[in-house]
Amino acid sequence: MKRLLYALTLCLLALTGCNHSASDKSQRIKELKKEYNKFIALTFDDGPSTLTPRILDILEQHNATATFFVIGSQVDASTEPTIKRAQEIGCEIGSHSFTHPYMSQLTPEEQTLQSQQTINAIEQYAPTPKYFRPPYMDADDTTHNIVPQIFIGGYCPDDWDANVSAEERIKGLMENATDGLIFILHDFKDNNGTAEALASVIPALQAQGYGLVSVDELFTIKGVTPQKGIIYKKAK
């Protein structure tokens, strides 16, 4: 009998553990809805890199979250701590292909490889990705058929371009901010202008009533069930 009780207790503990993160998520969303009345999803492409920890510091400081669309070939033991920390502060990991090619220029077999290798790489350190950002926003029918994730676009202030200053990035983000939108930013190595812009854009938008969240949180908050075959620039 004692043994049975012990086993039952273990089962209960295991069940509680399983529900923990789901209830954490709904609790966070409840709190966000209390604090903010508009929402924008932050996304970062082309990492993880040495810039990513700096981006995570800024997000954590302001209680903001984001989706990181990682390049599969950069997901390895050296970036594992960054990927894990991103999840610890509530961020999610999405796919941005394995080597950042123009997907439509590849054979179906090559596209499958780009997708599957990235999923495998991410699954070492994170849940199976739910979202995909096509490199250069280039995708054909084959890409839509082969890649199992929901496709995500958004507004980009051209922050991949070294000639676009941090001030111009801030201006682009502030002028285009609208409820339900997805922002595309880049956390590749040495893209310091984006970290600089982010540090002032997040508090400025929060002061205007915007919560900054991950793509999955944005869809949940907006009550949208995203479909395949569409590239979402906003949650609607």
Which residues are annotated as catalytic?
45, 186
| Cα separation, 141 vs 151, whole angstroms | 12
Amino acid letter for position 189: K
Structure tokens at 131: 């979202």
**CB 166, min distance to Zn ion, A:** 20
Q: Which is nearer to Zn ion, 45 or 187 (CB)?
A: 45
Beta strands in the chain (DSSP E): 38-45, 67-70, 92-95, 131-132, 150-152, 182-186, 210-213, 231-232
Q: Which is nearer to Zn ion, 135 or 180 (CB)?
A: 135
**CB 46, min distance to Zn ion, A:** 4
Amino acid letter for position 191: N
- For Zn ion, the binding residues (CB under 5 A) are 45-46, 135
**CB 67, min distance to Zn ion, A:** 13
| Cα separation, 16 vs 170, whole angstroms | 43
Structure tokens at 75: 């997901």
Q: Which is nearer to Zn ion, 135 or 211 (CB)?
A: 135
Residue nearest to Zn ion (CB): 45
- Chain-centre distance of CA 89, in angstroms? 12
Q: Which is nearer to Zn ion, 32 or 185 (CB)?
A: 185
